[in-house]
């Protein structure tokens, strides 16, 4: 700062004036008028100070009063020329009503440096390009003539794309290099934003012009065709031709021609025209006359099913029976299209991971049919099945029609996945909408709400999958043939793992067949001690975990071999490649890959004391063992039940206790407080099949005779001691086999269910069908001395 002047202050509320600018200022306030009057007494000098938000800026501009007069509107105004930056010092006393202060002139810094010259060379083209877009050619000439970097930077005071805050920064900055750097940054950002805005405006303008041009051309084309007596190629006549040439059933053709007639009478601008066209397109896309030929080779069909899936003999046999019946109907000429065909509806019910969904593709491949999967889990809208009425906006056909269209055939295999998880709410009940679809005596005239024409589904093979039957509505269940997939034995799991899971996971891990070998013994150990499931999903994950660790192991070996080969080749160019490394997974080293076994037989430990019995149950994940514990204590006689038991299971405990008391087998149970608990207390449990287990646990407690650790049981019990049949026998026996039990007690009336049990499981279990609880106790309780009773006096 080299010069100090006493000058009147002219505040600027909405503008910032940089040195070199000449601007008019309206004198609409007493402060501005007083400052101009005072300037006339101080050699026409005054200090222009920005005052944003009512506060004076620390830096202003010393300006010269050029002229005082009036604007064309008659308002008083003054023209000033800004000259030098100045900081505001202390106030001083001066003539008039103006505010006088000391103005300390600021010298510019770095105005003549090489860096400043480089920045000018970069900034000048940016400003010029902006001015060219605005056709400001005179201003461009002035910019080109400026050679002083500081003066060029201060021309930014005229820039409309800089806001007041940015201009205040420029005013307060005496360093020319810093001002130019900031201006280059701000200007580049503005240019980039302007380019984007211009591109958007250009695209919008081009789109509007194209739309207008197409509209005019279409109007002209329509007028020309009208004069020539021709219609548009995609008009109503085109639809009429397509309908007449399509191979449609008679009733469908009649309905389609009716809609074509409506289209001919409807204006192109009417929304109904679009609805009719969409409906006609949907009808014409359906494969009304397309059918695939089923395979006639029953042996080949069974071979494909056996190749794709191990076990599941019931399903395979039922499909072979379906194909055999269809072949005989064809030979006798009973397969009439449009009538009651030989379509079947099979419901595959079983725990997760047993192959219910994947078997659909195998069935389609075995029969030579197209395959479509329809996921029903969580579907709550009836329109998802039967379609929407055409009066609704966005109406479309239901999933069944869309599946037929996707298959491109009228006789595909349609898999209705997770049918037990279909819900219902205010939008309707999809399960009820499936009644007509899955009824072989009705689905030859299935009517979708959108199509409103009969669709023959009698030749479709429907496969439904479910985890449990309980949640499937009874009317819907009655229309399906239930095929139970209760789970796999250990031998079947080993076969599935060897033939399917291991090759699949080897490919996913990026390995070769020669990189790793999993022995059957190791696979059996994984299935028995590292997983506890009816299906094979956990087995698949365990195999994947083993192969991931093998991949890491091989990678380490390959790196060491590569380093070794590199060293050898450095000394001997003829060094042979390293031998290929094969990892062998056996029972001896399986723990290195999976850790310690997670599932080991625990029945012997749990039943080592009186009052604990091993029951068998069925859950959504398949069969499982269920331990029931009973104990007695001093206190007020009564019964305590824990373990989240349902009402039916609570009643089973009461029945068991009443039975023992009625037979004088309760000892002193009546004089003690009895506590019955079913572990896994966080899991709700219910059902009558634990009745015999309840009786056995209480009888063991009363007599002091432990329950045999190798025996599991299931069955409902009555007050008279009769053992009633229950469901899920196969799943329960498979669970007993997995848990290492050797003896199983089942109701006598469930004996026919043993025919469905795999022979290997039946041979390994000692199964006792009983009809009376006394026989259960005789088989289940250990022999003991009478004095061993825990309730003996």
Residue 305 CB burial class (10 angstroms; 0-12, 13-18, ≥19) = buried
Asked whether residue 274 is marked as a ligand-binding residue, the answer is no
Cα gap 724→734, rounded to integer Å: 20
Helix (H, G, I), strand (E, B) or coil at 93: coil
The length of the chain, given as a count of residues: 793
| 252 is known to lie in a ligand binding site | no
d(C-alpha 463, C-alpha 413), whole Å: 7
422, 376 in Cβ contact below 8 A? yes
- Using DSSP bridges, classify how beta strands 4-12 and 100-105 pair: parallel, antiparallel or unpaired: antiparallel
351 is in an annotated binding site: yes
Instruction: State how far the Cα of 34 lies from the Cα of 436, in Å rounded to an integer.
Output: 95
- Which of 689, 700, 703, 709 is catalytic? The answer is 689
For 161, list phi and psi in degrees, rounded to 5: -85, -5
Strand partners, 22: 81
What is the sign of the dihedral through the CA atoms of 64, 66, 72 and 73?
positive
The residue among 681, 686, 675, 690 whose CA lies nearest residue 630 is 675
Alpha carbon distance 147, 145 (integer Å): 6
**Exposure of 278 by Cβ count < 10 A (0-12 exposed, 13-18 middle, 19+ buried)?**
middle
Flag whether 695 is marked binding: no
CB 92 within 8 A of CB 100: yes
Annotated active-site residue in 45, 708, 730, 732: 732
CA distance 642 to 648: 14
Respond yes or no: is residue 732 known to be catalytic: yes
Q: Does 595 show up as a binding residue in the annotation?
A: no
Q: Is 652 a catalytic residue?
A: no
| Biggest alpha carbon–alpha carbon distance for the chain | 131
Which helix (H) or strand (E) segment holds residue 63: the answer is strand 59-70
Q: Is 717 annotated as a binding residue?
A: no
- DSSP 8-state secondary structure symbol assigned to residue 228: H
Question: Does 354 appear as a known binding residue?
Answer: yes
Order of strands, edge to edge, in the sheet holding 481-484?
A: 371-375, 413-417, 461-466, 345-349, 481-484
- What is the crossing angle of helices 271-285 and 250-265, to 10°? 160
353 is in an annotated binding site: yes
Catalytic residues: 689, 732
Binding positions for ATP? 350-357
Specify binding-site residues: 350-357
């Amino acid at each position: 700062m080299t010069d100090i002047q006493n000058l009147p202050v002219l505040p600027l509320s909405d503008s910032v004036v940089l040195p070199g600018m000449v601007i008019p200022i309206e004198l609409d306030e007493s402060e501005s008028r007083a400052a101009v009057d005072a300037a006339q007494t101080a050699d026409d000098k005054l200090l222009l100070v920005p005052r944003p938000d009512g506060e004076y800026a620390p830096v202003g501009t010393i300006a010269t009063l050029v002229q005082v007069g009036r604007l064309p509107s008659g308002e008083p105004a003054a023209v000033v020329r800004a000259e030098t930056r100045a900081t505001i010092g202390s106030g001083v006393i001066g003539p008039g009503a103006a505010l006088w202060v000391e103005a300390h002139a600021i010298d510019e810094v770095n105005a003549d440096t090489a860096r400043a010259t480089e920045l000018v060379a970069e900034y000048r083209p940016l400003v010029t390009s902006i001015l060219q877009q605005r056709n400001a050619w005179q201003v461009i000439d002035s910019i080109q003539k400026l050679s002083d970097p500081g003066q060029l930077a201060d021309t930014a005071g005229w820039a409309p794309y800089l806001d007041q805050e940015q201009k205040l920064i420029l005013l307060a900055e005496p360093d020319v290099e810093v001002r130019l750097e900031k201006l280059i940054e701000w200007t580049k950002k503005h240019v980039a934003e302007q380019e984007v805005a211009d591109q958007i405006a250009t695209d919008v303008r081009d789109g509007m012009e194209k739309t207008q041009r197409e509209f005019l051309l279409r109007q002209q084309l329509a007028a020309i065709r009208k004069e020539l007596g021709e219609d548009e190629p995609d008009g109503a006549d085109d639809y009429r031709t397509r309908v007449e040439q399509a191979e449609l059933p008679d009733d469908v053709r009649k309905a389609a021609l009716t809609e074509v007639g409506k289209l001919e009478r409807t204006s192109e601008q009417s929304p109904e025209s679009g609805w009719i066209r969409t409906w006609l397109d949907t009808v014409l896309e359906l494969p009304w006359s397309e059918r695939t030929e089923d395979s006639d080779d029953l042996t080949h069909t069974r071979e494909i099913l056996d190749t794709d899936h191990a076990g599941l003999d019931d399903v395979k046999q039922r499909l072979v029976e379906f194909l055999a019946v269809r072949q005989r109907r064809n030979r006798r000429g009973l397969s009439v299209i449009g009538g009651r065909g030989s379509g079947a509806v099979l419901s595959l019910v079983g725990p997760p991971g047993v192959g219910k969904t994947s078997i659909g593709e195998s069935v389609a491949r075995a029969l030579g049919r197209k395959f479509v999967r329809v996921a029903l889990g969580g579907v709550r809208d009836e329109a998802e099945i039967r379609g929407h009425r055409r009066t609704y906006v966005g109406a479309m056909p239901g999933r069944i029609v869309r599946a037929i269209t996707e298959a491109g055939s009228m006789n595909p295999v349609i898999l209705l996945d997770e049918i037990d998880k279909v819900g219902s709410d205010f939008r309707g009940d999809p399960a009820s909408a499936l009644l007509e679809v899955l009824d072989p005596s009705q689905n030859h005239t299935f009517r979708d709400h959108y199509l409103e024409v009969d669709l023959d589904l009698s030749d479709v093979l429907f496969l439904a999958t479910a985890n449990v039957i309980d949640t499937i509505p009874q009317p819907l269940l009655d229309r399906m043939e239930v095929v139970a997939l209760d789970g796999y034995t250990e031998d079947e799991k080993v076969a599935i793992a060897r033939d399917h899971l291991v090759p699949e996971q080897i490919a996913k891990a990026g390995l070769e067949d020669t990189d790793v070998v999993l022995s059957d013994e190791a696979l059996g150990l994984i299935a028995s001690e590292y997983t506890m499931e009816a299906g094979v999903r956990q087995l698949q994950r365990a195999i994947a975990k083993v192969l991931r660790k093998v991949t890491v192991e091989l990678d380490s070996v390959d790196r060491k071999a590569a380093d070794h080969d590199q060293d050898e080749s450095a000394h001997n160019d003829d060094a042979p490649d390293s031998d290929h490394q094969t990892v062998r997974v056996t029972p001896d080293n399986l723990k290195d890959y999976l850790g310690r076994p997670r599932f080991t037989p625990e029945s012997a430990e749990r039943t080592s004391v009186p009052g604990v019995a091993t029951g068998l149950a069925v859950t959504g994940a398949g069969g499982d063992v269920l331990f029931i514990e009973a104990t007695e204590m001093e206190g007020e006689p009564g019964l305590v039940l824990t373990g989240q038991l349902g009402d039916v299971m609570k009643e089973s405990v009461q029945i068991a206790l009443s039975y023992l008391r009625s037979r004088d087998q309760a000892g002193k149970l009546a004089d003690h407080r009895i506590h019955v608990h079913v572990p896994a207390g966080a899991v709700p449990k219910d059902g009558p099949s634990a009745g015999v287990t309840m009786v056995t646990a209480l009888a063991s407690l009363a007599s002091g005779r432990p329950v045999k650790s190798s025996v599991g049981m299931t069955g409902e019990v009555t007050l008279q001691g009769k053992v009633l049949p229950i469901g899920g026998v196969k799943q329960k026996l498979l669970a007993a086999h997995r848990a290492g039990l050797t003896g199983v007690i089942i109701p006598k009336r469930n004996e026919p269910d043993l025919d469905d049990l795999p022979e290997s499981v039946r041979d390994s279990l000692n199964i006792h069908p009983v009809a009376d609880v006394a026989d259960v106790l005789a088989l289940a309780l250990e022999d003991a001395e009478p004095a061993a009773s825990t309730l003996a006096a």
